[in-house]
Structure 1
Amino acid sequence: MRLLETIDGRSYNLTSDFVQTSRIPPYAILSHTWEDNQEITFDDINEDKRGRYRRWVASVRLLQRKSGYDKLRFCAKQANRDGLRYFWVDTCCINKSDPQELETAINSMFCWYKNASKCYVYLSDVTVERPSGGTQDPTWQLAFMKSRWFTRGWTLQELLAPAVVEFFSKEGKYLGNRLELKEVIHDITNIPTAALSGAPLEEFGVDERLAWASTRQTTYEEDEIYSLLGIFDVRLPFIYTEGYDKALRRLLNEIDDLRATSVNPDKIKLFAERSTVPFRRDKDFVYCDSLATLHRICAGPVRCVALVGFGGVGKSQIAIEYAYQVLDDTPAIWVFWVHAETKERLREGYLQIAKKMNIAGCDNPGANIVQLVNRWLSNEANGKWVLVLDSADDVNVFLDDTSTSYATYKSESLHKPNLPSILPESTIGSIIITSRSHEAACMLTGNESSTIEVHAMNDRDAFALLQNKFTFPVDRDEARALINTLDHMPLALTQAAAFINRTPRMSIARYLEEVSRDPTRLMDSEQVDIRRDAAASSSITMTWQLSFDYLRGRSPSATRLLFLMSLFDRQGIPKALLEDKYTAHEHGLSDFDHDLYMLTSLCFVKTVEGGREFEMHGLVQFTTKRWMELNGELEKWKSVYVGIINKHFPEGRPEKWAVCENLFPHAQAALNNHPFGADALEAWASISWKAAWYMGERGEFSKAYKLALDSLEVREVLLDPEDPEIFDSLNSVGVALSRLGRYKEAKGIYQRAIIAQERVLGVDHLDTLTSMLNIAQLSGSQGQWKNSEALLQQILGMASKKDTEPGRSLTLSTLTTLANVHRNLGRYKEAADLEIRILQSRESDLGSEHPTTVAVKGNLAYTYRHLGRLQEAEDLNLQILSTQETHHHAETEILTTKAHLASIYLLQGRTALAETLHLEVLTATQARLGPDHPDTLHAIANLARTYQTQGRLHEALALQLQLLDLRIKLLGNEHPATLDAQACLAKMHESLARSEKSKALLTNGSNGRRDVEAI
């Protein structure tokens, strides 16, 4: 081992090699990251074997060429300050041109770092601008957390081996030692604080130590393993051509069999590759009985287990620890995490799984993501898995929107929905649920014995948690008092510890004194949700208040960021919507990264998704909003929030679907917090209008209607009656009503829009013509084909002058509707000719697989069927179905294609195949759209016709009677669809020898049809 010797802290000399370890004097050792062509090498120092003075002068001259000189100068100076005459720097104390010396040095390096009096970590990418740093000065901490030093493979042993590790900035400013910074270092590296405090490394498992290096990088892949030799106290010969896997296997072979048997060479990457758990493992987790029970139940035949308890009691932490332990024990397992608090979050979590597993069609806007993922999970060929459904407090989240809510099921004493059947089925998969609702947990698991009650911590576990969290020795009596004051709640204890650790001169005793002085400063007990676990709520409130007061006094900017974040949906808060959005001009500039650091260090928020998103505990968010309300801040921040969401939530365009999908939970949060200011209300109405489009495209027509109606009502109050935004909302309401089958109401809304648009915009304005097209389509839905045709011809005449944009979207949409009219009036040849023209244009503009193009193909296939060109119709429909299923178009579109195919099969005499498809379509349509939707009625009619063709007249008659009642109820006696139902029913009666009643019905049906045609 060679050392550098310094007498004055400025000059230095390379010593001869110390062969005997006992002869090595006390020395400091440098840890740093290399810069290409900038490091001072052995040859640089030893060139021409110059004398000490000449070498020092030469090294000074190197300053003009190599930045690495700064490190040597710093190390010499710092060693001299610490009373050390010798120091060691790898780049210039090892002759790397000698392979034998290099191998010996690498095998010895852990010991060299371990035996050093001090290790200086020189962070060239961390700058301290102020005269003094110190651990209480946060200006350097963000750069510290992002330092390249924490990403390099060789620095792992340099962090853990020495007894004393001190960190310095580029300027040589002292930042703190490993013990002082262990909490921050743990957050960066996920290395337990016990290891950072000097615990023997053999106390930690092989796979755990391997995981410490899993995200670190080296220049040569073999060095990822060679840099771990000291961590495992083994020696290896170096083979720099063997590759990573072989080097790892050789390392494992050198580790004793007891520790090596459970380690797989790929395990290092498991946590990133086989899991969607968005949280780091909690180094301070205290093993509890609930976790043991969870392991015991999941080891048996039960596939679904629920952790039940109040918010903040630690359910999610148990699930997180279980997930990591499962990955430790079973390398080949998948672990998925889904937030199940709302339907939006449930779908978002399933979408993340679908994308991670590359499930085909998951990016399509119309895809049923939950169904896609459940199918994948139910396929046992995909392997073992664990699915965590976090915050599953409401069973209605798991029910279809068209289904009766669970509350209605209970009140009407009907059968409860079979919720377990909604979840994926697999003998090799497990579902872990966390929930505040015992009832919801039982409904989801299907078995009360599969629920685990999670209670507040006992004294032993709570004390262990505080011992882990505090950075100083904990007095048992003080800790017991703190535990009792905070009701043994893990969240409250964690927040209290974070506050005490960060606050200068704060102690447990002083913290308790401040709590006892005014425990209800924020709000009295009546203002807290006391319906259940009131003590737990107030304990978190008290903890929040102290931390909040500290934050407000220390960083007003971070306080404003907390206010803004509390208005978002508590999960998946996007970083992009926070930066530069919470600072008014009078407050000056904000440092977002510093503000975020303040919030995370005080446990107000948690970072997920690699720093791109954030999360807040629900009670913390609630308490913050309550403080804002009591102190007159809430309305101001509501206005800021709705402005942000309105700016970023896009208007309805297919290419913006993904953005809508990600932001909808936050849009919903904005809509749930109704502001009062006029400007804020206007933005709120805009969000509601845009969200209505998104819900409509997802097939959630009832939600779309409510959102559109809310937008309309607010805009009518705020805006001028002739404002075009009111017209937009009117049309949005009309579209939703039409999709719900409420045609008469939709027509009234459309007419209001047209009258106003003609007056304000003009008769031939494109917006006016679009509203007229809506009316024409609605007339067709009501069977008024002649009226629809006349209006369409009128639109085409005016659009020819106005619709001049590429693609002529309005013109083509109008022609598509006109072709539909031709078909329904029996002009099949005209319909086919027109649809072929439209198809050619759509394929040219949009491509053959665009949903709009595919819809035109579907219309053409439908027309071919009426022309008797059954083979062409079948071929085209099969082509359409293949495209729709391959690209996962909307489920309603796929069902329409299947219904057309089934009708073709029936005409071809393939009745069994027709029946199977029609049954599938009816079941799916009824589940998605409800029993009264027009599409459901069409499906009933198709199945009845199939039964009649098969000679199953009694079954056909029952369906036809049901259909007639529904059509009279929804469409009226004179609608063509109602008359068709009457005629079909009469023919069925005739077939059953009920001739008298049949003649009467048939006569009424014929008269009614002639009357309608006369109109």
Structure 2
Amino acid sequence: MLPATVPNARIFTYNWRAEFSKDAVELTLRDHAEAFLLDFRALREAKREPLRRPVVFIASCFGGLVVIKALTIAASAAGKEYSFLRYATVGVAFLGTPFKGTPAERLAQWLVAYEGFMGEQASTTLIKDLKKSTGVLNDLVSQFMRETHQPGYYLPLHCFYEMQSTNLSKKILPECLANLAPKKEFLVNQESACLHGWGDTPLDCGHVMMNKFAPGTENFRRVASIIRMLVSESNETLKQRNVRQKRHFIVPFGRNMDFVGRKPILGQLLERVPPSAMEGDCQRTAIEGLGGVGKTQIALEIAFRIGDALPDCSVFWVPAVDATSFENAYRAIGQQLSVPGIDEEKADVKALVKAALSRQSTGSWLLIIDNADDTNLLFGNNALADYLPFSRQGSILFTTRNHELGVSLVESESYIIPVEEMSRDEALKLLQQKLKAGQMSDTRSNEALLEFLADLPLAIRQASAYMAKKQISTTQYLELCNSSDEDMIELLSKDFEDRHRYKSIQNPIAKTWLISFRHISDHDPLAADYLRFMCFLAGKDIPQSLLPPAGRLKTVEAIGTLKAYAFISERKESDTYDIHRLVQISMLSWLAQKGERGEWATNVLQRLDDIYPSPEHENREEWIRYLPHTQHALQLWKRTDDEKATPGLLSKVGKSFHNLGKYEEAEQMYRQALQLYQKVLGKEHPSTLGSMNNLALVLDSQGKYEEAEQMHRQALQLREKVLGKEHPSTLGSMNNLALVLDSQGKYEEAEQMHRQALQLYQKVLGKEHPSTLRSKNNLAACLRAKTKG
């Protein structure tokens, strides 16, 4: 019958599995729609037909939902390989499609329960999609209706609905359950089967007969009439569709053909960013992350993908680096849109363009605001944020380093998409883009270099540009990076050619971060001080308690600023943070250039000396936590040649290592402390003599007895001179000298020394003092060793 109705048409049927059987595959509505799109494209290619040959769909029941889901996917940026179908489709006739669900879902669930009791399985996924309560249908139909009302797009639709109810219970339920179900009902009533704003026609039959016709019947004549109309008006439909508004594409860069990876983020953006993605609003989305993490390149790729997938959507790009670049970009948009008065000398360019983009007649657009980092620029005097347009056909995408600013721009955390370092596979592909195979022959060096560069896209591109230019391998570049911090900073500061970044913003990663450093310094001085402080510490597991105190609220706000710029990240443990190693080194370089590195090294060491406890067993957890940061700060201090650094901190770190049994590290710390005490306080100062004693003790622990003996004799001699023979510290030196004599088997002299120490301890401290008792024990041990010897 249908070939006679449309004799020049090529007619196909498409069958898909929607039955509720134990063998049914658990597929969602989207799964069926994607399979349909794949099969449709394959069919056209197999028949060597033009992809855009006009097509009319006749869709029955759930098949109508598959069709509108397929058309919705074809209209999205994610489904650009099927975009041809959106323009090929010139009409759809829906036969009993449940746009608002169906009461049959209850009966189907009874069937599922029955099958479950019988030990078999049945598919429930499609039935779940039919539920009104899930919102799946509402979202799907709303999105489809938005697509059919896009400017310049016209798609005629017609709906048919059933006039007879169906006793479904007898058709799908076992006899034992059929009596429990309602007798008769409309499976898809008129309200559910019709789309607002489009024609609808009743058919005098029940649901299961909506797609079954006898020749010459009234039902067939009604359906055939609509199909003939859709076919006969197809040329006019295409003509109306081609009368579309002019599309504009103003992007300052060409497409980055070296762009790799980022599929999850692109997927999220392509779902959110198209103007049709949110009904009734001008959605705002922000990409946020550390400078150099690739936000601009992601936004650039989105611009081209939206441009490819949505021919009716204009794309505008506005840099928010400063007020001038923002206004110049707005002026270019105004000129493209032929906004009246845009070129007048005193024109309020930003206000004119805002008004133009806010008008519905402008059509759909995506506005990308890149480098939205400066809070004062966007929300201060003459706030640029006031000039952001609003249109229900528009969408705004921001890139920002500042999380707090991003929240202010999009008004909800859920609209912010964080960008982190690349995965290692993505980073490796990016590194390979500019290099020859011979330059990457050492797999270990490749991995080590990416680890060193923290998988940051800008750092990788900068490094590969240098290697390509100088024709060196990853192994050689890595050696340069590891040679010294100064060499690494120089490498990270090298300019390189990049056609996909602004000429006005210097490319190198180190200089890129300076922009953020300056923003923080201007707007949150305490946060800037904390960043300076942290760059002297070990990069991982930094306790907040190490930072200079500044009041709870101010501290929270300063830490929030650093987290907002992604310079630090909070660990799962409360009040503990990590800082990026490359950020640390760049910050140290900045301090050195300003002549502030030595001053800040001293400030950090003085703070650490104040907070670092005298290392004992009772406070072991605390000083163990502080030790790596203090050790790192001391290593950086050595390069400053600053004599103001506290030798007391060196002594406490030395004792920490001594307690841990790390005698070589303890010896190194004690020698530095002694040298500094002698230089600053003199050779006879009590603190100098205490440091000398500590060094002798750790030498003894390593079996370096001769040097330890010499050091103890010198300490004893000076303490007798400075403090007197009966001072407790003098007696301590006497006891320690006796012990090292014991260790060398010099028992006679050791015994004499122990007896002298015991006698003085008894006189000065009393017979029951712990030091007296230890001295007595040491004498007894010496006598026992002497007897055995």
For Structure 1 versus Structure 2, the TM-score category normalised by the shorter chain is 0.3 to 0.5
- Greater RCO (CA < 8 Å, at least 6 residues apart): 2
State the TM-score, normalized to the length of structure 2. Answer: 0.40
